[in-house]
Amino acid sequence: MNFFVRGYCRLYQKIINFASYFLSFKEPEVIQGEGASAKIPAYLHKKGFSRPLIVTDPGIYSLGLCDPLLKKLDEESLTYIVYKDVVANPTFDCINEAFAMAKKNNCDSIIAIGGGSSMDVGKAVGALMSNPKKSLSKMRGILKVRKRLPLLIAIPTTAGTGSEATLAAVVVNSKTHEKFAIEDPKLIPAVAVLDSSLLKKLPKKIISSTGMDALTHAVESYIGHSLTKKTRSYAIEAVRLISDNLYAFYSNPEDEAPRSNMQRAAYLAGVSFTRSYVGYVHAIAHSLGGEYNVPHGLANAIILPYVLKAYGVKAEKALARLSDAITLTKSGASTHEKAVAFIAWIEDMNEKMGIPKSFDHLIKPEDISLLAARANKEANPLYPVPKEMNKNELIEIYKEIDPQ
């Protein structure tokens, strides 16, 4: 990236970072513990809400993970409607269907239960409910929602996305397949329910990919240029929790302590990157999710070590501090050695949990230029990355993550 473009990006990021101090990044009210989701109906009654829209996906619904909540809603005589057709990498079509259902049934609140996609849909539906004359495309980018959402309660059924704590809804234009984020503090859920009992039946491939998704959030927020005292401490704590608990959770999902700790890590990482942003890992992952429907956590897990290596010396000091936080090297190791050890630890975690090293000919060579352009558009000038890269530099990363 040339000097003038880099200078523009850094100036833009400094302005955004300064302006962020005047915005409300209020954390959700947290309700936690095994079985915590069953407390929501009483909460709705207390707050004066009576007609929630339940947003979830077919897998979550068929596994019965919504049943304890729905049973309690029935017991509390609350009227609800269930939208259970959320798709991975949620599209405009999916969101508009859920919005039409909410509108038809006069819903006054939203309960999103599931992974990041369900929470993305819940946030996007809430944005449409508060801005009925505004399209999703018009809300693309930062601070475009403006109006307060209806009550939004997020119940994650994975330990990874952190969407229960974030200001972003990531959506896909059904016609162009372009994936983009709507980002506004008003999208931060009012309530985050950390019910670790909902994670007992997670498949191992979901535990691994969503866990590495949480790690990506913590790492990208920590190594960027927009850290605050809070986001720094949250990111480091998340990395420590992931280091201590992810593989244990992957090995035995029935063990309550690792489940609970990973859910906490995902939440902390979500709070951290909401204020301090992410980087090129997410920009590239979003392009692949939009074009090829790659699950977001899996994409992040594969891409993360490649991007960290591409940052080179610009990220080494921050990576060395993360390495120290989980004691990866012996006393006296250099900054470079610590950074290399941290990236190697990520690669080792991926390998132990069966996450592939590349995308194995998923990416069509003729698509790379368009994908890199989309990633470049998302990341620059907004993301406060350690090292600014342009479209051509991003193209090289696409070639590395899927050698043809």
Local confidence band at 197 (pLDDT 50, 70, 90 cut-offs): very high
Indicate where the chain has its CATH 3.40.50.1970 domain(s).
33-199
Strand 179-183 relative to strand 168-172: parallel, antiparallel, unpaired?
Answer: antiparallel
Sort 326 into a burial class: Cβ within 10 Å, 0-12 / 13-18 / 19+: middle
Residue 293 contacts residue 94 (beta carbons within 8 Å)? no
Task: Kindly state the tokens that stand for 112.
Answer: 């999103």
Give residue for tokens 């849909």: 121
CATH class for domain 3-20+202-401? Answer: mainly alpha
Q: Which residue has the tokens 């080179």?
A: 312
If pLDDT is split at 50, 70 and 90, which confidence band does 2 have? Answer: confident
Report yes or no: 245 and 196 within 8 Å, Cβ to Cβ: no
- The tens digit of pLDDT for each residue in 247-305 reads 999 999 999 999 999 999 999 999 999 999 999 999 999 999 999 999 999 999 999 99
Of 356, 341, 392, nearest to 371 (Cα)?
A: 392
Considering the chain, what is the average pLDDT of its residues? 95
Instruction: Report the DSSP beta bridge partners of residue 273.
Output: none
For 115-158, write each residue's pLDDT tens digit: 999 999 999 999 999 999 999 999 999 999 989 999 999 999 99
Q: Does the domain formed by 33-199 have CATH 3.40.50.1970?
A: yes
CB 300 within 8 A of CB 281: yes
pLDDT for 394: 98
CA distances from 63 to 59, 195, 210, 266 (A): 6, 16, 18, 22
Q: Where in the chain is the domain with CATH 1.20.1090.10?
A: 3-20+202-401
pTM of the model: 0.94
Mean pLDDT to the nearest integer, 221-234 = 96
